[in-house]
Amino acid sequence: MKRIKGRMDESILVCVYYGPNGERLIQRGCKIANMLDCPLYILTVDPKPYDDLDAEKTSYITRWKQLAEQHSADAFIIKDNEHRPITKVIAEVAREKNITQIILGQTAQSRWEQIAKGSIINSLLREIPFVDLHIISVSRYLKNPDRHFEKGVRAYLIKEHGQYRLIFKHTKNIEYEGIFFKEYGTDFNNGIFKFMKDKETLQVQVNEDIVTDLTNVEMNSNLNSDDDYL
């Protein structure tokens, strides 16, 4: 039997999408809901029917459901086979559940796309103007028991001879913008580059300024860090 929440004037909605950032968003939502002692809902949206999702996506959903149960969330909501704009879906759920605060991950839209098309954030503010929005960006810290990294710094990848070069000055030909975590004890730029690609947070290996491919490197992120970039 679920414990009755102490405050019903506040209600949290966490919106998650596939990728390693989802757990971090849920952790942040749980932290806020516990502080406010209020209801917590977790939402994911997919244009495909649930039965058509691949194994990777269903594994993310299974993990999110586990976290929802562990933290006594009031509901884990899946909106599958959904062809409406995502902002419409989020706004609908927010109204149904009397949501007062929404937690979102950093969007993968570039600054130019936001200017040209309008960002998800601006769309939500028009749809539900009286709801507070929390935008959680990529963490500037990594925590891994076997390797140690310096505090992350803003960096960029440019394409060069079929691979990518790490640079620290913004230029017009950058491919990706993100955070570089340099390994302790190295004179060269060896470490991890963390960035957004196709609405997912990826971490790739950097060896002497070069990223040979964009294969994701699995490691544990510090979910409790509040020192984010944006």
Inter-residue contact 180 to 191 (CB < 8 Å): yes
What secondary structure does DSSP assign to 162-210, as a single string?
TEEEEESS--TTEEEEEEEEEBTT-SS--EEEEEEETTEEEEEEEBTTE
Q: Is residue 90 part of a domain?
A: yes
Q: Select from 103, 136, 169 the last residue of a domain.
A: 136
Q: Which of 127, 214, 212, 216 minimizes the C-alpha distance to 161? A: 212
76 plus 169 within the same structural domain = no
If one counts the domains in the chain, the total is: 2
Same domain, 179 and 66: no
- Reading the chain (230 residues) residue by residue, the pLDDT tens digits are 455 666 668 999 999 987 767 888 898 899 999 999 999 999 999 999 999 988 878 888 998 999 999 988 999 999 999 999 889 999 999 999 999 999 987 654 444 444 445 577 888 888 998 999 888 776 655 655 455 788 888 899 999 989 999 999 988 899 999 889 898 888 899 999 988 887 677 889 999 999 998 988 865 443 333 333 33
- Owning domain of residue 163: 153-211
Residues 61 and 19 in one domain: yes
Are 76 and 171 part of one and the same domain?
Answer: no
Q: Are residues 89 and 19 in the same domain?
A: yes
The answer on 60 and 30 residing in a single domain is yes
